[in-house]
Structure 1
Amino acid sequence: MMSWWTTAKPPVIERAEKGELSNLAKLHAECFKQNWGTAELTTMYEQKGVFVLTARTSGATGKADLGFVIIRSIAGEAEVLTIAVSPKQQNKGIGQKLMEAAIFQLYSDRTEALFLEVDDANHSALNLYKKLGFKQVGERKAYYASSEGGGTALVMRCDLL
């Protein structure tokens, strides 16, 4: 029988602060060959309409970042600029929790639609996005240079209102 103290705590989803961006840049580098450093993340963070959500654990040894998502919202539409989940934490629902929190925030802000691009070879992400209500609305051939699927980016949209 499992008890409450032996089960893993769910991640806490909260807004990232500027001082955390160097840690998020390291996490992004673990996830992507073409990654963004602290300077790029800071530039995005400071743009109007951008918010960053992190998924983290919090325990006796401090906080550990499990993943993050960066969203830019302008004129009733939003886009996922990036989403990254630590390779050791993938396929555990963290990406879904991040996306659900972002969608909730956008819905609260009365944003009409959320767009994203995903590599057609990234089947786990595609399944997640479809589960969340995203539909393919376009594609960009040879968009990703180092892809197993030929580098095609699928453009997806989720209507929020």
Structure 2
Amino acid sequence: MTTAVLREMRWWDIEPVLELEKDLFPEDAWSRGMFWSDLAHARGPHATRRYVVAESPDEDGRIVGYGGLASAGDVADVQTIAVAREHWGTGLGALILTELLRAATAFECAQVMLECRVDNVRAQKLYERFGFEAIGFRRGYYQPGNVDALVMRLNDPSTSVSVQGTEING
């Protein structure tokens, strides 16, 4: 099980997050501006985003994962989830997803959507464990590699969070 601690992502986390992003998603990594834009909507009384980072206490607080969610009306969208390769299989992805689903519940969202690369079976299995169902494809969604996205949906994220019961530290 992971020993990483989740906390709110802040602007000073963007550089280490970008390093991880480029390592994990070299063809379609997010830009600095994309993170800045989403973080601008993650604070204050009218926040529509929730972004978290996972720090490893065993590695002097190095960021080993992150995730983000956007809400609009009663629908949320998982924008991104990433876990450093050396932390795959530790439960860190589930920890991050649980926090994002808690945020969707707090935003009073009835559904959570996401896109996942069709070749990312590891992520698909995680989402299925939380109750997400495949509902379609977006052809050529991930560029420049022209990789299709599997579109997945979860109805009632509050039910999934209570079933998972994952603890968040910090």
Class of the TM-score when normalised by the shorter of the 2 chains: 0.7 to 0.9
Alignment partner, residue 163 of structure 2:
none
**Structure 1 residues 63 and 103, CA gap change in structure 2 (3 angstroms):** same
TM-score (norm 2): 0.80
- On the 8 A contact 1:51/1:72 being kept in 2, the answer is yes
Letter in 2 for 1:118: C
Q: Pick from 149, 154, 161: which aligns with 1:158?
A: 154
* Aligned match of 2:114: 116
- TM-score w.r.t. length of structure 1: 0.84
Q: Is the 8 A contact 2:24 2:84 kept in 1?
A: yes
Q: Distance in 2 between matches of 1:77 and 1:137?
A: 15
Cα separation, 2, equivalents of 1:139 and 1:9? 32
Give the AA of the match of 2:29: N
Deviation at 1:30, TM superposition (A): 1.2
Work out whether residues 50 and 70 of structure 2, in 8 Å CA contact, stay in contact via their aligned partners in 1: yes
Tell me if the contact between 1:26 and 1:37 (Cα under 8 Å) persists in the aligned partners: no
Name the larger-Rg structure. Answer: 1
- Residue of structure 2 aligned with 1:126, choices 111, 119, 124: 124
Give the letter aligned to residue 49 of structure 2: V
CA distance in 2, matches of 1:30, 1:119: 16
| 1:74-113 pair list within 5 angstroms | 74-113=72-111
Q: How far does residue 146 in structure 1 lie from its aligned partner after superposition?
A: 6.3
Q: CA RMSD in A?
A: 2.0
Q: 1:39 offset after TM fit, Å?
A: 2.5
- 142 and 38 in structure 1: CA distance in 2 versus 1, 3 angstrom threshold: closer
2:133 aligned to which of 126, 135, 148: 135
* Preserved CA contact (<8 Å) 1:69 1:99: yes
Aligned to 1:23: 16
Mind listing any 5+ residue stretches in structure 1 that lack a counterpart?
A: 1-7
CA contact (8 A) 2:2 2:91 kept: no
* Separation in structure 1 between the aligned mates of residue 107 and residue 37 of structure 2, nearest angstrom: 23
Deviation, 1:43, is: 1.5
More helix by share: 2
* Structure 2 unmatched runs, 5+: 42-46, 159-170
Alpha-carbon separation, structure 1, partners of 2:82 and 2:106? 23
Aligned residues: 151
